[in-house]
Structure 1
């Protein structure tokens, strides 16, 4: 039985989980997906190889956690920003801006690359599910707007978010991308 060094078994488990995630992320950053093995992660975390299986059933499960763990906070931040506005146009602008703010402060680009190269089918399903919850939020915003083409407006707004997030991931300056996105969103909604 491993010795408990934290205040409780739960704290110990959280610490170990954090060590394993940090070790996996360091391996990914330094050596890429091919170097991510149970042995390498355990070694990097300073644990026995079999210890990793107390936390994850497979490396795929660890990769899925790494890819998806920022999503709940991202969704919550976007939801808060939208709910802080009462005007439908301001809510749409808040949706766009909050998504870009999250992309700028997170590790979105690296997680996208990881998802494309190493995520299992169940992991990809989980990512789609999380994106769908954001799409549902945008759907609600667009339904509040007086537009003759709600599906088209929703598609264009989401395309704007996606394009701007890609530019942020590519290294474009967040303030410049944000200013463009605000103008584009406002212009779109004034003409629709």
Structure 2
């Protein structure tokens, strides 16, 4: 039995997997996906090459774990922001604002680029499913507003979020982008005046 470096086997496995993800991320940031090999990850993490396969099935699994690393915290931040609002309009605005704040504080652009270029179609589908789970919260809010064509409203709001995230990824200031997105959200969700 290998020596564990934590209070339990479960904690040891979690720590070791985190080390592998950290090593993978560092290699990707330094040299790109072309430089990512099991041997490079093992050397960077300080473990034997074949030990990687106790934690993941392939190097591609490590790529996917790097791409999705920020999702749990991102989703949690969006859900907390929405829960703090008392009206559907406020929740929709919180959804937009929280997504932009998460994009501004993280490494979204780099991870999104990595996802598009380096993940397998199956892994990209799993990433899309994570995005879909986030979009479902917006869908519930828009439906609560009773807007006609809720699917189209959600799609347009999400397009605003996506476009604004791209602007943040390109270096635009969060405050400027967020103000624009908030205005677009208010106009889109304003009561019909017909």
State the TM-score, normalized to the length of structure 2.
0.92
Cα displacement (A) at 1:160: 0.3
Which of 1-10 and 140-149 deviates more? 1-10
The residue that corresponds to 1:18 in the other structure is 18
Distance 1:167 1:70 in 2: 19
Cα displacement (A) at 1:107: 1.4
The residue that corresponds to 1:8 in the other structure is 8
The residue that corresponds to 1:150 in the other structure is 150
Distance 1:148 1:44 in 2: 54
Cα displacement (A) at 1:129: 1.0
Cα displacement (A) at 1:69: 2.3
Distance 2:150 2:3 in 1: 58
Cα displacement (A) at 1:40: 0.5
After superposition, the CA RMSD in angstroms is 1.5
Distance 2:10 2:155 in 1: 44
Which of 141-150 and 17-26 deviates more? 141-150
The residue that corresponds to 2:77 in the other structure is 77
State the TM-score, normalized to the length of structure 1.
0.93
Distance 2:143 2:86 in 1: 14
Distance 1:135 1:97 in 2: 14
SS in 1 for 2:76: helix
Deviations 1:54-97 (A, max 9, x none): 11110111111111122122122212211221212111101101
Cα displacement (A) at 1:191: 5.8
Distance 1:154 1:9 in 2: 44
SS in 1 for 2:190: helix
Which runs of 5 or more residues in structure 1 are unaligned? none
SS in 2 for 1:2: coil
The 3 A distance-change label for structure 1 pair 93 and 51 is same
The residue that corresponds to 2:65 in the other structure is 65
Cα displacement (A) at 1:164: 0.5
Distance 2:12 2:89 in 1: 47
Distance 2:175 2:139 in 1: 26
SS in 2 for 1:86: coil
The residue that corresponds to 1:132 in the other structure is 132
Which runs of 5 or more residues in structure 2 are unaligned? none
Is the counterpart of residue 48 in structure 1 residue 48 in structure 2? yes
